[in-house]
Structures are given as C-alpha cells and as structure tokens.
Structure 1
Amino acid sequence: MATMKKALLAAAVAAFAAFLGHRWFKLKEITLASREVPVKHFSCHYLENIEFGAEDITILKDGLAFLSTGLKFPHMPALSNEPGKMYVLDLLHPKPTPVELLIKGKLDLSSFNPHGISVYTDETDDSIYLFVVNHPQHKSQVEIFRFVEEDTLVHLKTITHPLLHSVNDIFAIGVESFYATNQNSFPNDALHFLTIFLGLPWCDVVFYSPEEVRVAANGFLSANGINTSPDKRYIYVSDILDHEIDIFERQEGEQLVYIKSVDVGSLCDNIEVDHKTGDLWLGCHPNAMKLVNHDPEDPPGSEVIQIKKIHSEHPVVSQEYTDNGQVLKASSVAAPYEGKLLIGSVFHKALCCDLK
C-alpha cells in the first residue's frame, strides 16, 4: 500500500510539473517572447514636449489631436515623477506642436494618471467632451471633461463602478455614456496573472450609462483598445494577448453582437480608425517579454499594423512600421490623418510621420 501511495504521489507530481511546463510554454507563446521584427520606418520626427509617453492619441475630423501622456503603470518603467498631462495638437498647423491642456475643476491633478481616451462631439451644440481613463493610486476611474477655448479642459465628472475595475481604454457614445475595456479579469494582479497563466478568457467590455451599467461582451484574455467604424455601426476590440481584433455589431439598446475576429499576429494595444477609409491602425508591441523586462541593451520595440477591408471575407493586414526600440520604445497607438500618422508609446516619446 505504501509503495502504491508513493507511486501515485510521484505520478501526480510529474503530471503537475508537466502541466506547469505546458502553461509556461503557452505563456511565452502568447507574449511572443521569442519574436523579432525587422526595422521598417516612415519619414518621422519626434513630437516636441512629449518625453514620457503618449499612451493614447485620438484625432477629430478637423485635425485636432488629443494625447494622454505620462502614464505610470504597474511593472512598466516610470521615467518621470510628475503627474500625467493632457495635450492638444493641431495637425493643420504648418508646424504641429503639442500644447499642454490647462485642466480646471476639482480633479486632483497631483495623482492624475491618464490612460485610454475618447472624444464625443455633441451634435446639438458641437460641444466636445473628452473621456479619460485615470489611475490615481492605480485605481480605475473615468474622467469626463469639456474642451473649451483652445487649450482648456473643464472637469465635469468622475465615474467609478465595481464593473470598471481595471479599465484600459474607452469609447464614448454620449455625454455620459461609453464602452470600456477591462484588461484584467480581477482587480487583484496576482489573480489576474493566474487567469492568464491558465489561459482563462475572463476579461470583458462594460457598457456604462447613468441609467445602466452591465457587461456588454466577454471572453477576452485581455481586452485593450476599443473604437468604432465611421458609421458607428461596429465596435472593434483588441484582445491583446489573443493577437486578435474582435468585431461586434451595435444593436438596439447598445447590445453588442459578436461578428468575427481578425488575426494580427502581434500584441496590439490601441485602435484608431481612419475617418474617411475606415481602415484600422493599431499600435502594437512586437514582444511583450521585452516590454516587461525593459532591458536597456534589448529594449521593447514598436510596431504599427494597418487593417483594410476588415468587414470583407479577406481583410488585408499589413505591417506598416517597425522599430527595434532604438527610435521608439513600446508603441501603443497609431493615429492617421490626411497623410500623416502620429505614433505614441507607453512611456517613451511620440512620432509624427509622413505616409505620402
């Protein structure tokens, strides 16, 4: 009997060790730990005043771009002790230069830590509302601002909710309504890592309005960027660890119905959409292990991917820009406008590139 117990115990230990080995292999696989990309550049220059990242960028139809900068995130380098800032950039200016936005209101600016952003324009009076994911003390909340004059944001409201526990990005659909992605399954980092290690797709997209808050879509390994088609009919979500862009159709009552997924072969962060063509532009991380390790001798690289004809049977996925981290580290967003492309990063700099 004792011999049998020892044999069973040894078999259980061996099986558990094999399981851990398999999951470790899968973890390296989903983080693209061994991936290298060739260098492929546009004609670009650094944006002035942006020294500590522009994690998210969004551009209005009139060429006005908003940038969230200075994000401090767990397990990522923080190159500045200053609070985060918001910038505005006029791409129609002969020499576009980011201008820091003055923030008025009761928001605690000493702990301002901006992440994903979205802009909503109220067609009744053309008022512009800027929605910003904020992580003060590494919590998750959404700030709503109104953009006034040329360089001022007026803080209107802070939104918190138990379902908005680890928000990454946001897409505004009204003056107080939005969709938001949760990049973690749980607020607790250890529990979330366990779900990733076990391959459990437990992250979600949340719909928020003053009248209702609910999970609108789920089944993501890690939900990241979110945006919409020019006609507002479809919602795009980047499942960064599944290397896919998931497409949902918006239906009555803000219900999201899953349509399909498009494989992108990279860890794609934020999603921006060309207002005219409907093409998707993705700021991506070629290798997440380099991003986490942040070795100065082998820095995290950058990658921009474009998707054309995403609703066709054969979407066209192309690698448009790549860098080994010598020019731009950890690209997180690529925003197109009239032959130009703004590429932002998690903690480094930002580029203005010429697509023509």
Structure 2
Amino acid sequence: MRTFLRIALAVVAALLLFFGYTLVSTGYFRSIEPEFDGRVLDSVALAGAEDITIARADSFAIVSATDRRGFPAPPQEPGGLYLIDLGTRDFAPVPLTTAFTRPFAPHGISLFKTEGGYRLMAINHAGGRHSIEVFSVQDRKLRHLRTLTHPSMVSPNDLVMVGEDRFYFTNDHGFAGGVGKTVEDFAGLPLSTVVYYDGEDYREVAGGIAYANGIAYDPRRELLYVAALRRFSVKVYSVGKDGSLSHIEDIPCGTGVDNIELDEAGNLWIGAHPNLLRFIAYAKGKRDIAPSEVIRVEYRKPGDFTVERLYLEDGRGMSGSSVAVPWGNLLLVGNVMDEKFLVLERNLPASPR
C-alpha cells in the first residue's frame, strides 16, 4: 500500500509540474495591456492573411491568405495570393491566383528578386497534403512554374529562398498528427526541423526545435533566423557555403514568435502570440478573440541584441497576429484566421535638425 501511495503521489506531482510548466511556458499568466504608439490606418477585409512579404524595390506586398475558420479545416477553404500596392494608400488586395485552378491553401511564402522579376514560393496544404508551389512574378502578375513535393515535408510551415531554386523550410512538428502531435504541442517537445533544398536534393540541416515556425535569411551576414514558437525564442544560425547550419544562440523573446520579416537594416520584425493557450482556444472556436503582439529584434552580434515590443492588444482589434512587415512608418500586420488584417501607422520620433 505504501509503495502504491508513493507511486500515486509521484504521478500526481509529475502531472502538477507538467501542467504548471505548460501554463507558464505558454504565457497563460501574462497580462495583456494595450500598447502601441500610433493608430490603425486601415482594416483590410481578407480572411486568414497569415503571411506577408514585401518587394521593396518595386513597392508592393504579397499576402498569403487561407480561410481557416474551420480549424483544423479538413478540407481547407480555397485560399490565394494577393498583391497590395504600397505606392498608394489604397490597400485593397488584388487577387493573383485566380487562374491557378488546383486546390490551394497557402501558408508561408517567400519572394526572391531575379533579373527579370521575382520568384515566389508558397507552402500549400490543400487537401491535407503538403507541397511547395513555385511561381514567377513579372509586371505584378503571377505564373505557376511547378509543384515540389518530398517526404521531408512532414509539416511545413514557412520557407525562405536563398536563390532561384534554393531554399530552407521549417517543419513545425516531428509528428504529422495523432497523439504524438498533441503531446509534442503541450509538452513543448523539440522535435521540429529545418530542411534545405539545394536545387537537387533535400536534407535536414537543423533539429531539436520546439515548434519551428517563421524563418528568415540575412544574406549580408549569412545568418538564418528560425522562430521556436513553443520556446518563445528565435534561434540564430550561421550559414555554410554548402547550406549547412551552425547554431550560434537563442534570442529569448517572451512571446510565441511566428513569422519573421527583415527590414533594410537587418532587424527582425515578428508577429507573435503572447498567450498560446488562449490562441488555441480561439482557433478551436472556444474563444471569440486571441491577443496579438508585434516585436522588433535588433541583432548586432552574439550576446548583443535588443527585443522591443511595438504593438500589443487583447484581440479586439485583430486576433492571432502572425506576421508584421514594416514599410516606412507603416506596419502591415497579418494573422492566422481573423477576417481582416491591419495597416498600422506608427508615430516615429522626429529627426534631429
């Protein structure tokens, strides 16, 4: 009997520790006080604008949108890619994929400048299958080139191009589904990966990541950034000539980091989920809203970085922020499954005379 009681007490203690760890590590106890030095310039009606990227030289943005209100949405609603003209104050999204007749539920996207225009890649989850759709962008028009599939695409989330035919992508889970995926989520198990495609072969180049999410590449410093959403941190890697990655350090961010975009100076702009459990409840339809947050990370060198919170609210303005892209004093903020995304206008400090 005593042995049984000891075992029972040990099990109860372990469960309490597990639940306590889950609550703390997902930001459950964090208070959400609205914070933003600026105003909402526009609210653009487009469901599930999960990822946004900018062609700075040509003043336009590409938005990846999929209606995910039926989370986990098998089958997902048809999605699409949209163009936003940043040369005007009219942020109406222009559909780019109306001629793309295959099932399309886009997720992470990446844009790469070429001599004749741009190459665009989008992760596609249509029909519960994973692929990467490759497009060319010329004169702000899209043309589908090919579809990439591979067994390494276990649960692809985001990708970043480092050449016309070379890219990295994140698998946000080690398990594709079932109990394993659920345990992985709540226990924060570091089972997700980064895969590199060199134009011919796929190979895993990083592992041991707790929910690998957004990914970004700084070509000037040859650094790769990966959001570890479940650990509230960004992992920093140096990139080898053969595409291999060497881990440098983790940047603690204090929030559930999602997609990463870089500005001209190499700073990281990240849409984030400050309370993951509240976001999961929202995504499953058990809550009406979920908080949104935007942070900027200035990474100077190993051990020398600054994390700045720019925007925080409880979800009444927009729920479930997933990406933040700066354009001058404007900030385009997308989300996982809200019915609109926001264009924020920041109050920038006056330039010294």
> Normalising by structure 1, what TM-score?
0.89
Q: What letter is aligned with 2:28?
A: A
Question: What is the deviation of 1:286?
Answer: 1.3
Question: What is the deviation of 1:310?
Answer: 4.1
Question: What is the deviation of 1:239?
Answer: 0.2
1:69-99 Cα shifts (integer Å, max 9, x gaps): 1243884689x97411110112122433321
Report the counterpart of residue 19 of structure 1 in structure 2.
14
1:306 aligns with 2:296: yes
State how far apart, in whole Å, the 1-side matches of 2:73 and 2:293 are. Answer: 19
CA contact (8 A) 2:82 2:96 kept: yes
Aligned residue runs from structure 1 range 1-356, under 5 A: 6-41=1-36, 42-48=38-44, 50-62=45-57, 63-72=59-68, 75=71, 82-104=77-99, 108=102, 111-122=103-114, 125-150=115-140, 152-229=141-218, 231=220, 233-275=222-264, 277-294=265-282, 299-311=289-301, 313-348=303-338, 349-355=340-346, 356=348
State how far apart, in whole Å, the 2-side matches of 1:46 and 1:76 are. Answer: 29
Aligned-residue CA RMSD in angstroms? Answer: 2.3
Question: What is the deviation of 1:37?
Answer: 1.7
Gaps of 5+ in 1: 1-5
Identical-pair percentage:
30
Question: What is the deviation of 1:229?
Answer: 1.8
Question: What is the deviation of 1:121?
Answer: 1.8
Deviates more, 1:277-286 or 1:68-77: 68-77
State how far apart, in whole Å, the 1-side matches of 2:229 and 2:216 are. Answer: 14
State how far apart, in whole Å, the 1-side matches of 2:279 and 2:30 are. Answer: 12
Aligned length: 342
Q: What letter is aligned with 2:129?
A: K
Against the structure 1 CA distance between its residues 26 and 327, is the aligned structure 2 distance closer, same or farther, given a 3 Å change threshold? same
Question: What is the deviation of 1:269?
Answer: 0.4
Secondary structure of the residue aligned to 2:2 is helix
Against the structure 1 CA distance between its residues 169 and 71, is the aligned structure 2 distance closer, same or farther, given a 3 Å change threshold? farther
> Normalising by structure 2, what TM-score?
0.90
